Structure 1
Amino acid sequence: METQIKKRAEIDAVVTALKQEKVVAFPTETVYGLGVIYDSKIAIERLIEAKQRDMSKRFTLMLSDKEELDQYVYVSYRDQLIIDKFMPGDITVILNSKKEKGTIGIRIPDDVFVRELIRKTGKPLYVTSANISHQPSTTTTKEVLKQLNGRIPLIVEGECGHLQASSVVDLTTDEIKLLRQGRITIEMIEEELK
């Protein structure tokens, strides 16, 4: 497979690739993401194969707007306060899923291109970091090519913002748990709830 590089201005070609159940890498405000439409078994299998990922690991559901949350997850008053303060942004929140049993990570990126990409695709994306499992996260087109050239059909050219993966916060219990430290700290979240 030849990996093509597209510019952000070629967003319609990127949307077409996603709708054709292809795997696409794109820069976000954190690190490069690797995404597929969320409701395609074929696309998800391609994503797992490209990343060489353990089948048991879940993917983050990336949405374009907060208004979509109600369709996919249960949101409490406390959760809504955190979401309103930090989303869109470099935070992933774990919430109870409405669509399937268990929990799901939700992220709304603070990146105009990525949110427009999701809107134009018409469906949320399952997204993971654009790297082979257990390899370093990528933040430039060149780094993505080094790991995934020939493994994915398309990369959107660009660079990332904070160069650090999003904070991951579990909101499914009374105690808020920070599962991965990014730019947003547990202290920032607790301060918002005071």
Structure 2
Amino acid sequence: MAKYFDVHPENPQPRSITQVADAVRSGALIAYPTDSCYALGCQLGSRDGIDRIRSIRQLDDRHHFTLMCRDFAQLGQFVRVDNDVFRAVKASTPGSYTFILPATREVPRMLQHPKKKTVGVRIPDHVVTQALLAELGEPLLSSTLLLPDEEEPMTQGWEIKDRLDHAVDAVVDSGDCGTEPTTVVDFSSGEAEIVRRGAGDTARFE
């Protein structure tokens, strides 16, 4: 059964955040809130976590995982960003955007797109997520919690606990989340390509 953490959305309890971070470091797969919708997360290099996310979401090996980063400095350790792209990404973060960029050597090969050698990155505008990332001190490997054959993600932590009780190790419930995933922009070629229109405004990339 998954551990359940009821975390205040604006003033997250430090003890709960520490417990969740410790669980992630120990290999746990968590469901947690973001500024777009609930997501699945695990430690950056966790092969087991990746396999479990693939199983839950029925993903193939071409799926781009996302590194949930605390800030731009951390993001820059894991992807290569040239000057033009830097300005566009900087102006859109933190926020509901995922950017696909060339991966650096810091990114485990199993997280990179098998042909493009790219990875998704984002900086969330969510108090609880930011508190967790600060406690972890490293990015969280993340994927939208959208189940197969369903059009929208679940919006309530208790619902996730009920449905995925034996599939995840912990659920962080901070109340209602949205149903719209991030806007995904691919900068791997140097030009902005909108891969998915979501919660983030696409006007600046068109």
Q: Could you say which TM-score interval applies, normalised by the shorter chain?
A: 0.7 to 0.9
Gaps of 5+ in 2: 8-12
The list of structure 1 runs, each at least 4 consecutive aligned residues, that deviate by more than 4 angstroms after superposition, is none
Q: What is the RMSD computed on CA atoms of the aligned residues?
A: 1.9
Indicate the residue corresponding to 1:6 in structure 2: 5
Equivalent of residue 84 in structure 1, options 84, 87, 90: 90
Task: Write the distance in 1 (CA, Å) between the matches of 2:144 and 2:155.
Answer: 10
Q: Are 2:104 and 1:98 aligned?
A: yes
Task: Write the distance in 2 (CA, Å) between the matches of 1:182 and 1:133.
Answer: 18
Mean Cα displacement is larger for which, 140-149 or 35-44?
Answer: 140-149
Aligned AA for 1:3? A
Count of equivalent residues: 189
Contact 2:194 2:205 in 1 (8 A): no
Q: Are 2:122 and 1:107 aligned?
A: yes
Contact 1:169 1:176 in 2 (8 A): yes
| 1:157–1:174 distance in 2 versus 1, CA, 3 Å | closer
Normalised to the residue count of structure 2, the TM-score between the two structures is 0.83
Normalised to the residue count of structure 1, the TM-score between the two structures is 0.88
Q: How far off its partner does 1:111 sit? A: 0.8
Mean Cα displacement is larger for which, 26-35 or 180-189?
Answer: 180-189
Task: Write the distance in 2 (CA, Å) between the matches of 1:153 and 1:181.
Answer: 31
Indicate the residue corresponding to 2:179 in structure 1: 163
Task: Write the distance in 2 (CA, Å) between the matches of 1:58 and 1:21.
Answer: 21
| 1:53–1:147 distance in 2 versus 1, CA, 3 Å | farther
Q: Identity over the aligned pairs, expressed in percent? A: 26
Indicate the residue corresponding to 1:130 in structure 2: 145
Q: How far off its partner does 1:163 sit? A: 3.2
Equivalent of residue 16 in structure 1, options 18, 22, 37: 22
Contact 2:38 2:177 in 1 (8 A): no
Contact 1:18 1:37 in 2 (8 A): yes
Q: How far off its partner does 1:55 sit? A: 4.1
